[in-house]
Structure 1
Amino acid sequence: MGEIKRRLRCCTRGFSLVEVLAVIIILGILASIAIPAYLERIENAEKSVCESNRLEVQRLYKMELVLKSVETSDVLFAEFSSLNHDMYCPAGGKYTYLNAEVVCDIHSHDDVNDKPEDEVPWL
């Protein structure tokens, strides 16, 4: 009887290959769900911060134009941007002043067509 217990204890240590593979597969499935959702959250946060920064830059630039009593130009906006470089697009986009609005070369075109109507939505 003692011999059987000793053999069973010896052979039951650790995990079997099937158990390890099952855990790895489950972790892979969870990662395939979590990583895209996390990346989408980061992208949405960058868009939100960019929009906020664009509106703030636009407000400050219009105030400066009024205070100096001048018309806008690309040179004035470039000078203004270089002096106020603390507000920028977190994705690395460049701000330009176009049609009385500050636009980002990465995120501004996304605002117009966030959801194309002819495509089927997917999860």
Structure 2
Amino acid sequence: MGVCNTEQEVVTKTIPKKSANQVLQSFLQPQAEVEAAILQADQALTDAAKAMAEERTKRQAAEMKQDLLKQELNDKNKKLEAQERSHVVQMEQLHVDFQKKSDELHIELTRLRQVTERNENTCLLL
């Protein structure tokens, strides 16, 4: 070989020779780190998705409970309104019945007074 070395000879002399295993390991090491990072990110996303699903389930359960409570309250309000209407009708009927009885007693009292007056007048005539 002469003074001028070819490019291949310069590269071969300046770069230390590595075994195939070392080259493979130097290639795989960054790949393993990338794989670990991807797996870690995937696990974090999976955990976040699970937490969101649990939160959504809790929220839906709370909404269903709230809807049930609203329905119960609505049912109770309707029942109370129906009772109130029933009480109003009953009070009106009691008033009508009381007025009728009062009118009947008034008529009876008037009739008894008239009978009493006739008896007194009859007794005076005798």
TM over 0.5: no
Greater helix fraction, Structure 1 or Structure 2: 2
TM-score band (shorter)?
0.3 to 0.5
Relative contact order, CA 8 A, sep 6+: which one is greater? 1
Greater strand fraction, Structure 1 or Structure 2: 1
TM-score, normalising length: structure 2: 0.40
